[in-house]
Amino acid sequence: MWPPKLSNFIHLLFLFSLFQLPAFAIKKCYIVYLGSHAHGSQVTEEYLDRVTDSHYDFLGSFLGSKEIAKESIIYSYTRHINGFAAQLDEEEAAEIAKNPKVVSVFLNRGRKLQTTHSWEFMLQKINNKVIPNSLWDKARFGEDTIIANLDTGVWPESQSFSDKGFGAVSSKWKGGCVNDHGHNAVTCNRKLIGARYFNKGYLAYAKSINYSVAGVPNSARDLDGHGTHTLSTAGGNFVPGASVLGVGNGTASGGSPLARVASYKVCWPPINGSECFDADIMKAFDMAIHDGVNVLSISLGGDPVDYFEDGLAIGAFHAVQNNIVVICSAGNSGPDPGTVSNVSPWMITVGASTLDRQFQASVQLGNGLNLMGTSLSKGLPENKLYPLMSAGDAALPGVAVEDALLCKSKSLDPKKVKGKILACLRGETARVAKGEESLLAGAVGMILCNDKLSGNEIIADAHVLPASQINYTDGVAVFAYISSTKDPKGYITSPKAVLGTKPAPFMAAFSSRGPNTITPEVLKPDITAPGVNIIAAYSEAVSPTGEPFDKRTIPFNVESGTSMSCPHVSGVVGLLKTLYPSWSTAAIRSAIMTTARTKDNTGKPMLDASYLESTPFSHGAGHIRPNRAMDPGLVYDLTINEYLDFLCALGYNQTLIAAFADDHECPKNAMNIYDFNYPSISIANLSVTTGSSVTVTRRVKNVGAAGTYAARLIRPDGVTLSVEPNVLKFENVGEEKSFKVTLKAKGRAAGIRILKAKKKRVPKRYVFGGINWSDGKHYVRTPIAVGLEF
């Protein structure tokens, strides 16, 4: 027994020592990216094991032992991507990043997930028959091209993945179905030739925040619906008689219906709004390249970051190195400028626009107004006018009128709502969730009125009660009518599919906009395609709304988003890969971009959902035209070395570039970033005050017949534009010619649209123009964006 005073002193020392002990550092999943592998594709498993072992050795030198490194590493990237994902604390990650062998170290970042008639609209079929000599006809419906996606998995039982009539799979295919045993296993066939899942990055993130993921199966099976929808849009087989709850009946198919398809599941139930994590995405890229896919469709993304800290950009680069075309969604953060994601120049970035089909559900008002809306829900049971009220007038005591108007959870008073049609305002909460709240409160129907930002964009949903969504102008009319009478009444009809609606296409309000905030000198998005109210296959493990209260299941569903427009372009790419197997990924992108259209079916310029004329920051080069893309005349081609020189010009050092791509050496005289041979031109800033000018160089390759192309210029407001030479003569296929484009600010221009900048690198004023090269048959269009500084 210690003496009392000494005992107290020792006790105090012990307590003091507790406060001095260092806190346990929080471990998070980091990706340590070491560049590319120098080995070829033909390597043994023993060799790959040695690569993994080298990763253990490397990490062990920082953590103290190889055994600790083995426990830390969750993935070793061994085939085409060189690196690993490991649980590290911040100090360990920072120390590893200093090593000269390391290209980058970055957190395992989370990302979000971003048809019957759509292919008729794009391919211009006549009476549901394929036009002779169309891209579908010439490319044999994408026969034997392998299209894969990184998404939420696949519902293999869908008729879209039937292999009836398909022959044996090529021996070049190295993939397969990988599942844990159980009722969620996925069986492959001669159509769906591959299915893998990757979730260690997802699980690592869940563990780091003590989030339970119990019950999430280790399987490539799609329990969400998103992956099945996107994969079938790109490469689903023909399915006659497809509809959604009896609406929109027709033959569903993907863009390349005779392609083989494969699914790489990297997206899981959301945690803090993120479903897909970089560690899993990079592993999926590494395996997809190894397996032998030709096209990768990726309908997910997040805020753009530096290229070497972006797992999707890194994976896409390695895919392009292996002549795999990568197509990505632009994001659903529109209509604000500077919101476009997936901006690396080696991928195709796709915005979303509408079709000329609507699922019309009319809203009839007691004053005689008949308003055209859209829906997939049933109409009201009796053909009569029902009491109608604004949701803002139905607020529970203590609830803000604004919250009730938005039909937020637990905001509506059943005593006021019961038996009435409720007019709710779009915004903040899910469209179908507003319908659920209305139903729970006792409403017999819902009119969903667009807010001003959503404008003309109306989306068909399988609501749980009779409902119709109407545009902003019509919504204003509904609320005005309700305010004008003591006894407002209304009616909602059952939906029906109507074709030939005008104007179409126009840009979806949700589609993310440029400019590119990482490299403003590269115009993004590249292209737009149908992404609103798209019918495609769906998982029967989930309801059409995806909401817990909805217990229905259906084999086909309508979805909207750039997630839906992305696989439309992927399907076209599959056709072009079948038709031109030797074309580079850049040539295919160029063919799609330079043949796009910027007018709608009224012959006028495409509009935004807000009724203003859309710009290249929303539609890129324009709306995709598959039949024109198969004969572009000229293409802007790029080699892998040119992509690397582009990175050199951005200031990445030689050591990083050499690790990134097999000892590539940056040129002594760095290229002018504006001379990067992209199919569009984006000038970050021209000073109106000084009248500054920029000259850029472009190079085009003849992929058609001999001919002479003349340039027609569309000058941006306030900018002089000239091309030298303005005539290009080609005598042989494969011949390349260069030209220079000079742009000069000529003074303050009237009518220039002002974009309110949300990010420092977004200039306040942009103007737009273009160059059209034509030989009388081909029209090679190059959009131009110019940032003017005043």
What pLDDT digit, counting tens, does each position of 712-726 carry? 999 999 999 999 999
Q: What angle do CA 601, 603, 608 make, to 5 degrees?
A: 70
Q: Is a pLDDT exceeding 70 seen at residue 129?
A: no
Structure tokens of 377?
């829900």
| Sequence-ordered list of residues with C-beta below 8 angstroms from that of 598, at least 6 positions apart, any chain | 605, 606, 614, 619, 621, 622, 623, 781
What pLDDT digit, counting tens, does each position of 235-278 carry? 999 999 888 888 878 888 999 999 999 999 999 999 998 899 99
- Domain residue ranges of the chain, discontinuous segments joined by +: 28-107, 111-355+505-629, 357-495, 639-669, 677-789
Cβ atoms 533, 196 nearer than 8 A: no
Please, where are the H alpha helices in 529-684?
A: 562-579, 585-594, 616-619, 626-629, 640-649, 654-660
**Residue 589 half-sphere exposure, CB side, CA atoms within 13 Å?**
30
What pLDDT digit, counting tens, does each position of 40-73 carry? 666 788 889 999 999 999 999 999 999 999 999 9
Element (H, E) at 702: strand 693-702
Percent over 90 (pLDDT), the chain:
76
C-alpha distances out from residue 621 to 320, 736, 777, Å: 21, 22, 19
What average pLDDT does range 723-749 have in this prediction?
A: 92
732 phi and psi angles, rounded to 5 deg: -135, 150
Max Cα distance, the chain (Å): 105
Query: Can you say whether the dihedral through the CA atoms of 361, 118, 620, 294 is positive or negative?
Result: positive
What average pLDDT does range 621-650 have in this prediction?
A: 96
Residue 720, Cβ neighbours under 10 Å: how many? 14
Q: What is the predicted pLDDT for the residue at 761?
A: 46
Q: What are the residue numbers of the active site?
A: 151, 226, 563
How far is residue 112's CA from residue 272's CA, in Å, rounded to a whole number? 10
Q: Is a pLDDT exceeding 90 seen at residue 596?
A: yes
Residues, the chain: 790
The residue type of 98 is K
Q: What is the predicted pLDDT for the residue at 16?
A: 35
Element (H, E) at 5: helix 4-20
How far is residue 386's CA from residue 767's CA, in Å, rounded to a whole number? 49
pLDDT band at 22; cut points 50, 70, 90: very low
How far is residue 221's CA from residue 542's CA, in Å, rounded to a whole number? 12
Q: What is the predicted pLDDT for the residue at 23?
A: 47
What pLDDT digit, counting tens, does each position of 333-370 carry? 989 999 999 999 999 999 999 998 889 999 999 999 99
Tell me: domain 357-495, CATH 3.50.30.30, correct? yes
CATH topology of domain 28-107: Alpha-Beta Plaits (3.30.70)
CATH of domain 677-789: 2.60.40.2310
Partners of 263 in the beta sheet?
149, 195
CATH of domain 111-355+505-629: 3.40.50.200
What pLDDT digit, counting tens, does each position of 272-317 carry? 988 999 999 999 999 999 999 999 999 999 999 999 999 999 999 9
Please, where are the H alpha helices in 347-423?
A: 401-405, 414-417
How far is residue 101's CA from residue 54's CA, in Å, rounded to a whole number? 13
How far is residue 319's CA from residue 642's CA, in Å, rounded to a whole number? 16
Structure tokens of 398?
């203590």
pLDDT band at 136; cut points 50, 70, 90: confident
Cβ atoms 757, 731 nearer than 8 A: no
Element (H, E) at 498: strand 496-499
What pLDDT digit, counting tens, does each position of 484-499 carry? 999 999 999 999 988 8
Q: Is beta strand 28-36 parallel, antiparallel or unpaired with respect to 81-88? A: antiparallel
Q: Is a pLDDT exceeding 90 seen at residue 756?
A: no
Question: If DSSP codes are grouped into helix, strand and coil, which group holds residue 334?
Answer: coil
C-alpha distances out from residue 209 to 70, 75, 212, 258, 599, Å: 22, 20, 9, 44, 49
pLDDT band at 456; cut points 50, 70, 90: confident
Nearest to 534 by CA among 326, 353, 331: 353
Q: What is the predicted pLDDT for the residue at 39?
A: 72
The residue type of 738 is S
